[in-house]
Structure 1
Amino acid sequence: MSSSPAAVGASAEPVGASDGERVAARVGAALEAVFAAVAATRAETAALLDRVAAEGRRPATADLAALRPGLHLRLAREELVSGIGFVAAPGLLGDVPAWLEWWQTGTDGGVRPLLPDLDPGRSAYADYTHWDWFALPRETGRRAVAGPYVDYLCSDEYSLTLSAPVRAGGRFLGVAAADVYLRHLEAAVLPLLRTLPGPAYLVNARGRVAASADPGRPAGSLAKGPDFAAVLEEGRPTGCEGRLLLPCGRVPLVLVTAGRR
């Protein structure tokens, strides 16, 4: 993924757009590639779980091994993706209470599985259902961007997680998700934000700053005030208190910059 402002998502620019709209479109295009990997994982997982259900049995961890070739391929293909997989809803699998079929790129560039300790008696991270990357898709039925946060479960890296719900037979079965290290996201989008005439930053639906070219709004901080979820729901630029709020295409991030609509 190039970090050049002219190269990242240039084909997604709307005709006659303002500078802010062009930047929002390019940011959206950069992250749509990650969401495409999430969507492919989601589709493969739903199809797999449908096949298991048709056999009249509950899925087990061994069934999820069929996802691995696709997960490995997406890790190799998508430069922004550092980890990817399926996170099962508790109680879905017959042999374990909770599970992450998760693969990530190691420090040597190789692909390795995540083997977390999900024993509630030993691990503070055994219950992942309250984390935004799981809870938002479960509650809204939509894609979500969570973070940035220090990912103690997977990598100990400052990361964002992009996720989408997996459903089959009318039931929520878990989430398909991909991790993006913040340093990789910043390399891709900060050059774009810095082309704007004033301070600019990106926030998720809950106002968490995902990347920032504004010294007063560091990544990971919480931007209060506007209803960013409503801006994403409406899907068009909105003026608020001297700022312009621009949805980044279909990606659930809002570009906040100076100016009014």
Structure 2
Amino acid sequence: MSTSRVRAGAATATREACAEERVAARVGRTLEAVFDAVAEIRAETADLLTRVVAEGRVPASADLAALRPGLHLRLGREELVSGAGFVAAPGLLADVPAWLEWWQCTARGDVRPLLLDLDPRQSAYSDYTHWDWFALPRATGLRAVAGPYVDYLCSDEYSLTLSAPVRVAGRFAGVAAADVYLRHFESAVLPLLRELPAPAHLVNARGRVAASTDPAHLAGSLTRGPDFSAVLDLGRPRTHGGSHLLPCRGIPLILVVTAA
């Protein structure tokens, strides 16, 4: 092969790598605004619970009503957010075994509370601790992207849930979280993925596909093989089986670009 062809091939590879990094960064910015809202909910919840504990009381579900003005504000402000709130760790509150201080937007643009029966004797939703949006932040201490999945708990919509742990006095108290309908997320990121010359998809830490232009990896399916958690921990691109894996600039999603 001639030197000129080698140089041309290297230049093409460099352009493609730069394009992949730009797309990964732009995907990251798309969800960073949602994570900013989650961080605000997390801080307000931690402050509220800390004040209650300082008063010598065990928090109760009524105390969490103080979060509502901020939740309503963020639901009106963040275009991608369809629901938001705080989900208490079992045993945190004095008056109920479990609680979701959760509010969501209706199709008409109103904000309403999510009302669930959390009685373990008669509700299938009483134990929410196994859901990824709760279990991952509890286990890792880090923020997480769960889904996409059919959100039977809140909306019956195919959704992503972005969450972060809330800690009070070193103790895990629950998670701050926000829902994003998958159709809205895809509208935001699929145009970015289509800018790439090769098929691409986005996966979370467990390999669940969040959006895709690759017919071999449909949204909602699992991508197996790479250790995606390790890629996120490493924080820089790597190659696996010829595919390029790029963390999306600080959020727990990975851009996977399939080898040509």
TM-score range, shorter chain: over 0.9
In structure 1, the residue matched to 2:206 is: 206
In structure 2, the residue matched to 1:162 is: 162
| CA displacement 1:25-46 (0-9 Å, x = unmatched) | 0000000000000000000000
Number of aligned residues? 245
* Structure 1 residue ranges, 4+ long, deviating more than 6 angstroms after superposition: none
Contact 1:92-1:173 at 8 Å conserved across structures: yes
For residue 74 of structure 2, what is the amino acid of its counterpart?
Answer: R
Q: Secondary structure at the match of 1:254?
A: strand
For residue 32 of structure 1, what is the amino acid of its counterpart?
Answer: E
| CA displacement 1:53-100 (0-9 Å, x = unmatched) | 000010111100000000000000000000000000000000100000
Distance between the aligned counterparts of 2:84 and 2:101, measured in 1?
Answer: 9
In structure 1, the residue matched to 2:121 is: 121
In structure 2, the residue matched to 1:134 is: 134
In structure 1, the residue matched to 2:71 is: 71
In structure 2, the residue matched to 1:85 is: 85
Contact 1:149-1:159 at 8 Å conserved across structures: yes
Instruction: Report the alpha carbon displacement of residue 258 of structure 1 after superposing the two structures with TM.
Output: 2.8
Q: Does 1:36 align with 2:41?
A: no
Instruction: Report the alpha carbon displacement of residue 251 of structure 1 after superposing the two structures with TM.
Output: 0.3
Q: Does 1:223 align with 2:223?
A: yes
In structure 1, the residue matched to 2:12 is: none
In structure 2, the residue matched to 1:185 is: 185
Q: Secondary structure at the match of 1:64?
A: helix
Instruction: Report the alpha carbon displacement of residue 123 of structure 1 after superposing the two structures with TM.
Output: 1.4
- Which blocks of at least 5 consecutive residues in structure 1 are unaligned? 1-15
Instruction: Report the alpha carbon displacement of residue 119 of structure 1 after superposing the two structures with TM.
Output: 1.2
Contact 1:150-1:156 at 8 Å conserved across structures: yes
Instruction: Report the alpha carbon displacement of residue 17 of structure 1 after superposing the two structures with TM.
Output: 6.5
Q: Secondary structure at the match of 1:210?
A: strand
Q: Secondary structure at the match of 2:173?
A: strand
Q: Secondary structure at the match of 2:109?
A: coil
Contact 1:143-1:252 at 8 Å conserved across structures: yes
Distance between the aligned counterparts of 1:108 and 1:117, measured in 2?
Answer: 25
In structure 2, the residue matched to 1:26 is: 26
Using the aligned pairs only, state the percent identity. 76
| CA displacement 1:133-162 (0-9 Å, x = unmatched) | 000000000000000000000000000000
In structure 1, the residue matched to 2:148 is: 148
**TM-score w.r.t. length of structure 1:** 0.92
Distance between the aligned counterparts of 2:221 and 2:130, measured in 1?
Answer: 19
Q: Secondary structure at the match of 1:232?
A: helix
In structure 2, the residue matched to 1:45 is: 45
In structure 1, the residue matched to 2:235 is: 235
Rg (Cα) greater in structure: 2
Instruction: Report the alpha carbon displacement of residue 121 of structure 1 after superposing the two structures with TM.
Output: 1.6
Q: Does 1:250 align with 2:224?
A: no
RMSD value over aligned CA atoms? 1.2
1 or 2, which has the higher helix percentage? 2
Contact 1:239-1:259 at 8 Å conserved across structures: no
Distance between the aligned counterparts of 1:54 and 1:196, measured in 2?
Answer: 53
Distance between the aligned counterparts of 1:72 and 1:85, measured in 2?
Answer: 10
Contact 1:41-1:70 at 8 Å conserved across structures: yes
| CA displacement 1:153-190 (0-9 Å, x = unmatched) | 00000000000000010100000000000000000000
Instruction: Report the alpha carbon displacement of residue 241 of structure 1 after superposing the two structures with TM.
Output: 0.3
In structure 1, the residue matched to 2:57 is: 57
In structure 1, the residue matched to 2:100 is: 100
| CA displacement 1:205-228 (0-9 Å, x = unmatched) | 000001111111111000000000
In structure 1, the residue matched to 2:5 is: none
Instruction: Report the alpha carbon displacement of residue 108 of structure 1 after superposing the two structures with TM.
Output: 1.3
For residue 194 of structure 1, what is the amino acid of its counterpart?
Answer: R
Q: Secondary structure at the match of 1:82?
A: strand
